[in-house]
Amino acid sequence: MRIRKVLTTTLLLLGVAVSPAVADSSPSASPTDDSSAPTSAGTSFRTATEIEQGQQATANASTGDYLYWSFPADAGQRPTVKATVKLPSSSRSAAQTWQLDVYDGLRRRQACQYGAQTRTAAQDAATVDLACTLRTVRAWSEPWANDPLPGTYYIRLTVVNLGTADLGQPVNAEVQVNSKEIGGAAAVDGSLSQPLVPGIALTSQKSSESEKDKATLSSLKPDGGWTSGWWSDRWVWTAIGGVLAAIAGIGGYVLTRGSGRPSRVPPGV
């Protein structure tokens, strides 16, 4: 009976503890209303068009242009950037190679874990699809490392080899960013004091200066704001380990203490 009570208590505690972890593992970005999605792209880092995760941004441009977008990514997220370029229906003189690059808030180019970051479209191809899945965003990193950190990320889409005859032909680009929540598996013991967002140092200053002096170059934030990695499901599993250790100790004591009476009664007692 005592063993049954111990097992029942264990299952109840595990159910309560695992529930937050399951909720935390849900996708970090839900699809947003595309009616408000941007329909243009910037031409440099400073003029990059802001997009939210889950939005499908579009832009009409000319072959040879550099197209820039920016999006926020927080600690524990693994962003995947996808781009589709619709090429002109008119005949082209040669094949074209398109490339998708992603930079962090310090404008460091981030490597892709997987995905077709560069692709060549045949001379008669109608579209070309590109993708880049970044490494998991970390809450903190060594100064010498090139790890992705919380903050603003930049997308750059362009053609890397182009004949003169095809320069300036109209193209249409579609870009979308989605993230997978990795959780405690990527948690680290540390966090940035501020996310890598251009202009955030100016906006954090409490002064009587004009609004122009406190302008923010990037205004979008992840859903729920910046967490900087202070919470992850690693805390939940640590608590579960502690609970299991305590229950194991209690169960062992119950099984080994016996009935409380000596197994043999001495003669004459």
Write down the pTM of the prediction: 0.70
9 vs 153: CA distance, rounded Å = 46
Mutual angle of helices 2-24 and 234-256, in 10-degree steps: 180
164 vs 162: CA distance, rounded Å = 6
CB within 8 Å of 102: residues ≥ 6 apart:
79, 81, 109, 110, 112, 132, 134, 153, 154, 155, 156
Instruction: Say if CB 25 and CB 194 are below 8 A apart.
Output: no
* Residue ranges of domains in the chain: 26-232
- pLDDT tens string, the chain, 269 residues long: the values are 455 554 555 555 455 444 444 444 444 444 455 668 899 999 999 999 999 999 999 999 999 999 999 999 998 899 999 999 999 877 788 889 999 999 998 899 999 999 999 999 998 899 999 999 999 998 887 878 888 999 999 999 999 988 888 888 999 999 999 999 886 655 666 677 778 888 654 444 444 444 444 444 566 777 767 775 455 565 666 777 788 888 888 888 778 876 555 556 566 65
First to last CA, the chain: 32
CATH assignment, 26-232 = 2.60.120.380
User: Tell me, what's the pLDDT at 232?
Assistant: 56
